Structure 1
Amino acid sequence: MRFRPIASLSVAAAAALLLAGCSGSPDQAQSPDASSSADAAECGTPFTGEVPAGLEVSGDFEGPVTVTRPDGFAPTAVQRSTVIEGGGTELTDGDVVRANYTVVDATTGEVLYDTLKTDPTGKDLVLDTRQIFGAALACIPVGSRTVSTFPAGTLGQGSPAYILVADAIEDVPVSDVPPTDGMPTVTVAEDGSPTITMPSAPAPQETRIENLRTSEGDLVEPGDTVTVQYSGALYDGGTVFDSTWQKGTPAEFPTTGVVPGFRKALEGQAVGSRVLAVIPPAEGYGDQDKGSIPPNSTLVFVIDILGVQHAPEATQ
């Protein structure tokens, strides 16, 4: 399996709730326990079995961790073990989770990424088993800690071998919202990809934004970098001109790097939300000819917000 890079999993801080069901002493190393691990094959994760013997994790759940590696440690497979078994809801692909992550270079032991430093109360993201962060927590109960190994090259040619420790703090509630009269209608396939049907009414003259799904996840602020799935279609005729679902991978960009109407659809929304936006030419591409987007086109977007990385000024 090919994984997307770590950067595409960046997301935001929010209030954390530690659920019941944690075990293990904070003063003792936590060794992987085969009996407490989810069956990776059954739940669709890419893991082939337990992490190698001798790999240990120390530290409080939801707190800083220390990873101890055996001499000459060099993972050769994508593997995962549960070192703390939680008692909460089992997480599945597509759930919104608040969690802590520590990424360690498997060869040197250097901590490469620690969300406690940037998001001390937890990082929110939509679980995706094609992502190393999503795979680390899929099909385990909230309140659990897992340790995963990823061989050299997993994240692309030249990437080092990784160890990832993940604490599943809380599942973030989401709610579907009834459609709004006069807006395009959206039906969603099993893989999450939307089909957009345009109304018979004339295109609006101002940008209209409606939620199809709301979330209690972290909010996108002006200038943040978002990870999203989106599909864009022409209001006139309904032709799809761009879709990350069709491309097979989400997109990542700052909210300042898109047309004004799309930016309005992102800022103020929460991780886990689905947004429907109708954008007139004045807040789209105006009279520009963009090839698949004719001049003076009204645009319709369905956007799933998967994660957010706050702009530097928002984290200070």
Structure 2
Amino acid sequence: MRLRPLVTVSIAAASAVLLAGCSGLGGNAASPTPTSTSTAAVDLCDAMAPSGAASESVTVGGDFGSAPTIEFDSPLKVDELQATVLTEGDGEQTSAGDYISYALTAYGADEGDELVTLGYKPGELMPSQISAESPLGQILGCNGPGTRVVATFPATPATETAAAIAAEVYVIDVLDIVPTAAWGAPQDPVDGMPVVTLAEDGTPSVEIPDADPPTETEVATLKKGDGYKVQDGDYVLIQYYGARWSNGEVFDQTWDGTPYAAQTTGFVEGFQKALTGFPVGSQVLVVIPPAEGYGEGEINETDLKGETLVFVVDILGAQHVESE
């Protein structure tokens, strides 16, 4: 049985919560297979849009890593996607499938009005996976952390399912390449909790104690992150590994695919306790009795009813959502 929240939300959709109405970045739904091969890196470098008259006409002020000021003569004529590198990063290049943290400012090309500024404060923007097919990849190419790019997007005509979008101007700062395993400081294990062993790539395995399961949800920090603290209702980007207490059998994990993004409130109650209040970069161990999992009942092989669940959760990113 696969663990899935009540409402499935992709990484791109999580970003779109605050980017609604902006073209390109908010609607990127590409999910390429992660790879670090040299061929993928070349493909991503070649994917970057060319610099041109429109993007080169935009004047950008301010330091990398802080919200920029943007000046251009409006209305700015934008016939095609163009991207101009303003600051070259001196770190490693990105590869197709990497997750990157970034910040952006967007302006309307016709009126010169600011549309949105996101990502310069912790918890404002979810990390995104980059590919040669995605708008993010076409703006940034394989340029790594430390890179600032100005890009101009042409207008998008209306379709049967989407409204027209006017031409836009973006400034994007590439802040970091996000690891796909928690990077926080290791913490001492907690007596009586399952023992977690990590493979070289971060994949966990769990040894269940020879004891009765707890009757209340128990949570322990395995690695303490140093990032934004997740709040109730936020979107999170996570890796997770789930096993049954009764026999140690793994019933669900993300380590055989890609990290997973969803809203905290979409998970079962016990799982939420391994997310809310923990900083990004943390790895959390949680043991969830049936009452805060999938309900009481007879333990069986077809579902998780009656089962005490054991999860190892790596918190890789988060995006805050204001409560209504």
Aligned residue number for residue 209 of structure 1: 219
Instruction: Find the partner of 1:59 among 61, 74, 82.
Output: 61
Residues 51 and 166 of structure 1, relative CA distance in 2, 3 Å threshold: same
Local SS of the residue matching 2:270 = helix
Q: Which runs of 5+ in 1 are unaligned?
A: 13-38
Deviations 1:130-177 (A, max 9, x none): 5866994975243x3124678979xxx969798653224579994341
Amino acid at match of 1:281: P
Residues 64 and 245 of structure 1, relative CA distance in 2, 3 Å threshold: same
Q: Which runs of 5+ in 2 are unaligned?
A: 1-9, 19-37
Aligned residue number for residue 171 of structure 2: 165
Amino acid at match of 2:61: G
Instruction: Find the partner of 1:175 among 184, 189, 192.
Output: 184
Aligned residue number for residue 317 of structure 2: 307
Residues 228 and 250 in structure 1, CA contact (< 8 A), matched pair in contact too:
yes
Rounded to whole Å, the distance in 1 between the matches of 2:285 and 2:100 is 19
Rounded to whole Å, the distance in 1 between the matches of 2:256 and 2:277 is 26
| Structure 1 residue 280, shift from structure 2 partner | 1.6
The aligned length equals 271
Aligned residue number for residue 267 of structure 2: 258
| Structure 1 residue 229, shift from structure 2 partner | 3.0
Amino acid at match of 1:60: G
Residues 8 and 123 of structure 1, relative CA distance in 2, 3 Å threshold: same
Amino acid at match of 2:88: E
Residues 11 and 125 in structure 1, CA contact (< 8 A), matched pair in contact too:
no
Rounded to whole Å, the distance in 2 between the matches of 1:269 and 1:91 is 30
Aligned residue number for residue 235 of structure 1: 245
Residues 48 and 141 in structure 2, CA contact (< 8 A), matched pair in contact too:
no
Aligned residue number for residue 7 of structure 1: 13
Deviations 1:176-227 (A, max 9, x none): 415625423142464x5x3422234223333222233322111112232323
Aligned residue number for residue 221 of structure 1: 231
Local SS of the residue matching 1:262 = helix
Residues 279 and 300 in structure 1, CA contact (< 8 A), matched pair in contact too:
yes
Q: Which moved more, 1:271-280 or 1:131-140?
A: 131-140
Aligned residue number for residue 77 of structure 2: 71
Rounded to whole Å, the distance in 1 between the matches of 2:262 and 2:235 is 7
| Structure 1 residue 267, shift from structure 2 partner | 0.7
| Structure 1 residue 281, shift from structure 2 partner | 1.6
Rounded to whole Å, the distance in 1 between the matches of 2:153 and 2:260 is 21
Instruction: Find the partner of 1:100 among 98, 103, 111.
Output: 103
Rounded to whole Å, the distance in 2 between the matches of 1:121 and 1:176 is 19
Rounded to whole Å, the distance in 1 between the matches of 2:184 and 2:100 is 11
Local SS of the residue matching 1:256 = helix
Residues 141 and 129 of structure 1, relative CA distance in 2, 3 Å threshold: same
Residues 96 and 124 in structure 1, CA contact (< 8 A), matched pair in contact too:
no
In the TM superposition, what are the counterparts of 1:20-169 in structure 2 within 5 Å? 42=41, 45=44, 48-54=47-53, 55-56=55-56, 57=58, 58-61=60-63, 62-66=66-70, 71-75=77-81, 81-86=84-89, 90=92, 97=101, 99-103=102-106, 113-115=116-118, 123=124, 125-126=126-127, 128-130=129-131, 136=140, 140-142=144-146, 144-147=147-150, 164-168=170-174
Aligned residue number for residue 32 of structure 2: none
Rounded to whole Å, the distance in 2 between the matches of 1:312 and 1:71 is 36
Local SS of the residue matching 2:273 = helix
Residues 139 and 244 of structure 1, relative CA distance in 2, 3 Å threshold: same
Local SS of the residue matching 2:277 = coil
Local SS of the residue matching 2:274 = helix
| Structure 1 residue 115, shift from structure 2 partner | 0.9
Identity %: 31
Q: Does 1:187 align with 2:193?
A: no
Residues 294 and 306 in structure 2, CA contact (< 8 A), matched pair in contact too:
yes
Cα RMSD of the aligned pairs, angstroms, is 4.6
Aligned residue number for residue 283 of structure 2: 274
Amino acid at match of 1:256: T
Local SS of the residue matching 1:8 = helix
Amino acid at match of 1:53: G
> TM-score normalized by structure 2?
0.62
Aligned residue number for residue 33 of structure 1: none
Residues 257 and 243 of structure 1, relative CA distance in 2, 3 Å threshold: same
Residues 243 and 249 in structure 2, CA contact (< 8 A), matched pair in contact too:
yes
| Structure 1 residue 298, shift from structure 2 partner | 0.8
Residues 198 and 72 of structure 1, relative CA distance in 2, 3 Å threshold: same
